[in-house]
Amino acid sequence: MKKNLNNLFINLILLILINLISTLLYFRIDLTEDKKYSISSTSKNIINEIDDVMYIKDLILSFREDNNSSLSSKNELIPRSFTLHQNYPNPFNPLTTIDYTLNERSRVYVAIYDISGRLVKTLLNGPQSAGNKSLVWNSTNNKNEPLPGGLYIYSVSTENSIHRKKMMLLK
């Protein structure tokens, strides 16, 4: 029993030392009914920030009394803000792609307007999770009729903001 407590103490010290360099620390000790223990820790380190995207690296350490210790890591992309990108190709005929990034789960409304501000097509109206999103528009209206060439405005709205950009349909 004393050896097990020494191992527990050493593993606990090791976890604390490793996680002192972490930005965020999650720590858990589990004791089972048969007095076996499990120690696990997750640390989150921001390893890079580029183009309003935060790259997170999780380091997960687990020590168990039965010596089945483990170390694992995973990388995750977390957008820092809502971003609407320029459609591509632009000008286009007849297809174009609209990309945007959501920083949180939100209700999203994506619509296309003609130059006079009339709604011509609703591409999306519903909830979406955080992350990179992409929609393709085939230059048709809500009745699936082809639209004439010209300048159009696409709008992506969330619960907290609205972004708009222009695009050119060539015929």
List, for residues 117-126, the tens digit of each pLDDT value: 999 999 999 9
Alpha helices by DSSP H, listed for the chain, are 2-19
Query: 134 and 109 in contact (C-beta within 8 Å)?
Result: no
Query: What integer pLDDT is reported at residue 39 of this predicted model?
Result: 47
Which residues fall within 8 angstroms of residue 98, CB to CB, at 6 or more apart? 84, 85, 87, 110, 123, 134, 135, 136, 137, 154, 156
- Domain ranges (residues) in the chain: 2-79, 83-169
**Residue 135 pairs with which residues in a beta bridge?**
98
Q: For residue range 151-162, list pLDDT tens digits in order.
A: 999 999 999 899
What would be the CATH architecture of the domain defined by 83-169? Sandwich (2.60)
Which of 55-59, 85-89, 102-106 reaches the highest mean pLDDT? 85-89
Total-model pTM: 0.59
CA angle at 108 for the pair 91 and 100, rounded to the nearest 5°: 40
